[in-house]
Each structure stands twice: as structure tokens, then as C-alpha cells.
Structure 1
Amino acid sequence: MSQDTESAVRGDAGTGGRDAESALRRVLTALRHDPPAIAGTLVLLLLVLVGVAGTQLAPAGINDIDVDNMLAPPSREHLFGTDELGRDVLSRVLVAARVSLQVGAVSVGIALAVGLTLGLLAGYYRGWVDTVLMRCMDVLFAFPVLLLAVAIVAVLGPGLLTAMVAIGVVYTPIFARVTRAGVLSVREQVFVRAAVSIGTSDLRIMRRHILPNIAAPLIVQTSLSLAFAILSEAALSFLGLGIQPPAPAWGRMLFDARGFVTDAWWLGVFPGAAIFLTVLAFNLVGDALRDVLDPRQLTVSEARRSTE
């Protein structure tokens, strides 16, 4: 093994660490100077707080029935009003935040883990491995997102766990494609060839030399997919295929509110606003991360600075 080859591999490891620190600084700087991103981050932090402590923050039990206050409008006693059974809408909205966060995190985690693995294998080994794996992903990608999720839930049965698995499967092809594209662009770099030439194992090359260099687009895709996963969970719950009553879910609350649009507007407005703000916050943060971490955006920014 030549000293130049070994130093090239070692030098890349040091560069990867510096690049990670530089990327983190760019992200923090961008978030600090981007008002929409700040607003989105604050909303997400609030959502996490509500998801963790929703039961303690709720002013009433989520299934406490009060027949004397059925369909009561918003008031001091019930800030978001009550539903057709007299249950406090604010309490149910707060507790339902945990469901949305749980579904979003677990389903995107499934999609990221499976898609990352398949994308790494397809991009690194190429050939028939790439062909077989990507054709399978193309088949899944050909189906509309909600239709495929509904089909999976219909086979496995409705429920929270099933919804997580269905949404995870639906978004797996996206992560597989993003990962494969990144691997193909990194695989022929000098430091990867150097690692191969000195006999480094494929697993170590993927873990230490390829994965750190494709992390940026995966981070961006994860933040954006979280928004769509929460929206997909709301759609499944609206169709009665997600979390089952009496447990609260924003989508299910919208389904229950459909018959009271004119008589009790608050039943649909507040859970709908929660979905809207959550998805918007994830999109704002995702757009900020994309502007910072996307190499194409960096090239445009550098070109603009050079002309000023």
C-alpha cells in the first residue's frame, strides 16, 4: 500500500469531519437569519413539547363525556369548545399531537432505514443489483401515495402500527432514489477508489466514506417527508384507516366534524389548523435546510456573491 493512497483515505476522513462541522455552522447561521425558518423551528419545538406533555397540558380528560355541554362553542371553560359528546376539543387536539409526531417519526424512520439500505446497495454495486432493486422501487413509486397506503392498510387492517408501516413503505422509494443518486456521484471519487485499492471492506467504505458525503440531501428529504407523513396519517385517519376511536387523531377529528360544519365550526377548524401549522413548519425548516445543504443552491449563492 503506497503512502499517497493511505494519506488520501485518511485525509478524506478529516475532510469529512470538517465538512460536517461546516455544514452544521451553515445550518445554524441560516436558521438564525431566516425568519420563516425560525418560526417553523419554534412551532416544531412547541409541537414536540405538546407531544411529550400533552396529557399533562390537557385541561380535561380526552374521553370525559359531558352531556350538559355537548357542542358547546369556545368559551373560558372550553377554549376550543366541545364535540358532539361533550368532550373537550382542546384536550383532544393536544393529545393527538403525540400521535402525529409518533406516526411521522416512526414511518419516516422506516422509510429512511429501508430506502437508505437499498439505495446504498443499488448505487454501490450497480449492475443487476441496481436493476432489480430500482425496478422494485419504480413499481412502488408508480402508485399514488394515498392509494398505495390505503391498499396496504386494507390488507393488514386499520390501526396505528399499520398506518406507520404503510406510510413507511410508501416513502421508501423516495429515500432509495435520493440515496442511489448520491452514491453514484460519490462512488467514483478518488478517496473511494483509494479505499477500495487498499482492501477496505465494502461496508466500511459505505459507512465511513460514502454515507457522510450524501447525508445532506437525506437530511433535507427527511425534514420534508415528515410533513407529508403527518399529512398522510391525517388522511388515513380521516378515512377511518388510521388510529381508531376513542383515541384522538387530527384526521379522525376532521372526519367526525364533517356533519357539523354549519352548527359547530370549531370541531373542524382547530384540528385542521393543527395539521396546517405542523406541515407548514416542517416545510419551512425543510426549505431552509435545502437552501443551505443543497450543492446547487450553494453554487448559486457563491456565484451571486462573486458578482457583488
Structure 2
Amino acid sequence: MSGEPRGSLRRSLSALRHDPPAVAGTVILLVLVVVGVAGRWLAPAGINDIDVAQMLQPPSWSHPFGTDELGRDVLSRVLIAARVSLEVGVISVGIALVAGVSLGLFAGYYRGWVDNVLMRGMDVLFAFPVLLLAVAIVAVLGPGLLTAMIAIGVVYTPIFARVTRASVLSVREQVFVRAAVSIGASDLRIMRRHVLPNVAAPLIVQTSLSLAFAILSEAALSFLGLGVQPPAPAWGRMLYDGRGFVTDAWWLGLFPGAAIFLTVLAFNLVGDALRDVLDPRQLTVSEARRSVG
């Protein structure tokens, strides 16, 4: 019985190939991954190569994205910063995913006082605005890339915990789970082999959407000077550095801002498509339309 949802999950994911927005988002993400991995080799100049004679030069053949107030090549810094943003997004969401899923599994499976204690703790975190809580955590731990990852991971943990708990509460009453309990399977084995695979669909959707928000959060922290520290490049920090040159050097904010926009858009396109194909009601409508056609 538990294998049936996994087969449905595979069929749903294969439907993404016929969804133009999902394909577009996937292509953008693949390009970003390539840029993140090979950015140091793709960058036409060093990220901290200062050339005062070339300061605040507009986009040209020699500097396609122009130069900043220190004469550094903006294109090179945007390319290198892609790796930083993707790393922060993936690692911070990974922290939230592991912690949130673990808490949600135990809360939904055991219910009772375990559920009350764990979910009340998540409610406390939910009471704070996401960015405000992340700023508070970074203020305690100190600014930097690692603390930004930890802060973003902590603030998104309650989301994964609640999504997991809600799914586990319904899966827990399924026949195959009761059968596993009746034959004496351990709780950990039941959660790992029978419950977790059957709550994967909403977690996949939440992960893709959280990656977009995590990258936005990292950009906000870096803009506030609490994330990536100079001279390392980060899209948010580049926006901060270019805020004083909006009229005289528009390219300083345009290109890192466009990079953030495209990255968040790509994750949202993929996340929306995943939500549509993994929702059984949406999947039924899609299959009906195909059969009619």
C-alpha cells in the first residue's frame, strides 16, 4: 500500500516535462547551478581586482555589467555571488527540512503531550516575523555566512514541522500503518518506511518554495550587513553598496537585483508546478483533460 503513493509521485513529477513554466524555471535553475559551480572560471576578472581608473564605468564590451565604485568588474562579482546565494539557500533549507520534518514526524505520530510540547515551541517561533527573528539570531551569534545559514534554517523550521505534522496525522490512520503496528514493527521503522515516504509530496513543494524565500532572506541579511561580509561578493551586499549610486550608476543595483529576481522566480515557477501536479485534485483534472483531448 505504501508503494502506491510513491508511484503516483513519480507520475506526477514526470508531468512537469509538459508544463512550460516548470520547464522554464528548471532551465533557469540549471543555468544558476552551472554558474554557481563554474563561476570562478566564467568570471572575466577577479572579484576584488581594484582599478581606480575604471571606477563607475557603464556596461561596455570590456565590462558587460559595468564596474563599481572601486573599479571592480560587476559581472564577475554577480557570477561568484551566485554560488554564495545557492549555498545559503540549500544549506539553510536543509537545516530547516531535517529539523522540521523530525519534529513534525514525532508530533504527528505520537500526538498527545509530545504534540503539544513540540508544536507550542513552533508556535513561539511563528510569533516572530521571519526577518526579525533571523536578525535577532544573527545579532546573538555574530554576522557571517555560517550564522546566516543557521538563522534562516531556524526561522523556517516551524513551517516544515507544521506541514509534516498535518500530513502525518492523516497518514497515521491508514491501513498499512495499522498493519505495521499490529505485526510489532518499531515506531522508528514505521515512521521511516511507511509514514515519511507518504508525506513526501507536500514536503517537496514546501522545499522548492522555501528555497526562494531563503535566498531572499539571505539577500536581506547581507543588505543589512549581517550576512556575507565584504570583500566577499553577495547579491544583497551589492545592492547595499549600490544604493548611493542609483542615479549615477544604475547598473550597480540592476544586475544583482535581476539575479535575485530570476532565482526567486525560477524556484516559484517550479514550486507552483509541483504544487499543481502533486495535488490529487489538480492531477485528476489534468488527466481528465488529456483523456478528452
How far, CA to CA, are the matches of 2:132 and 2:273 in structure 1?
30
Any idea what SS the aligned residue of 1:240 has?
Answer: coil
Tell me the residue number matched to 1:20: 6
Change (3 A) 1:302 1:46: closer
1:182-193 equivalences under 5 Å are 182-193=167-178
How far, CA to CA, are the matches of 1:254 and 1:91 in structure 2?
15
Letter in structure 2 aligned against 1:233: E
Shift of 1:26: 2.5
How far, CA to CA, are the matches of 1:299 and 1:39 in structure 2?
24
Shift of 1:27: 1.5
Unpaired runs of at least 5, structure 1: 1-11
Match of 1:133 among 118, 137, 141: 118
> Structure 1 residue 241 and structure 2 residue 229: aligned?
no
Shift of 1:267: 0.1
Shift of 1:19: 3.5
Identity of aligned residues (%): 84
Q: Say what the alpha-carbon RMSD is for the aligned residues.
A: 1.5
> Structure 1 residue 55 and structure 2 residue 77: aligned?
no
Change (3 A) 1:130 1:306: farther
Letter in structure 1 aligned against 2:197: P
Deviation track 1:109-149 (CA, whole Å, cap 9, x = no partner) reads: 00000000000000000000000000000110111010000
How far, CA to CA, are the matches of 1:158 and 1:254 in structure 2?
18
Tell me the residue number matched to 1:8: none
TM-score (norm 2): 0.97
How far, CA to CA, are the matches of 2:101 and 2:131 in structure 1?
22
- The list of structure 1 runs, each at least 4 consecutive aligned residues, that deviate by more than 6 angstroms after superposition, is 303-308
8 Å CA contact 2:12–2:283 kept in 1: the answer is no
Shift of 1:298: 2.9
Match of 1:196 among 177, 181, 186: 181
Shift of 1:37: 1.0
Deviation track 1:27-66 (CA, whole Å, cap 9, x = no partner) reads: 222x222111111100000000000000000000000001
Deviation track 1:255-307 (CA, whole Å, cap 9, x = no partner) reads: 00000000000000000000000000000000011111123433554677799
TM-score (norm 1): 0.92
Tell me the residue number matched to 1:272: 257
Deviation track 1:141-188 (CA, whole Å, cap 9, x = no partner) reads: 111010000000000000000000000000000000000001000001
How far, CA to CA, are the matches of 1:52 and 1:173 in structure 2?
31
How far, CA to CA, are the matches of 1:102 and 1:161 in structure 2?
10
Any idea what SS the aligned residue of 2:242 has?
Answer: helix
> Structure 1 residue 214 and structure 2 residue 204: aligned?
no
How far, CA to CA, are the matches of 1:166 and 1:132 in structure 2?
22
Match of 1:252 among 230, 233, 237: 237
Aligned positions, number = 293
Letter in structure 1 aligned against 2:66: G
Match of 1:298 among 283, 286, 293: 283
> Structure 1 residue 105 and structure 2 residue 90: aligned?
yes
Tell me the residue number matched to 1:38: 23
> Structure 1 residue 150 and structure 2 residue 135: aligned?
yes
How far, CA to CA, are the matches of 2:245 and 2:175 in structure 1?
64
How far, CA to CA, are the matches of 2:123 and 2:161 in structure 1?
10
> Structure 1 residue 80 and structure 2 residue 54: aligned?
no
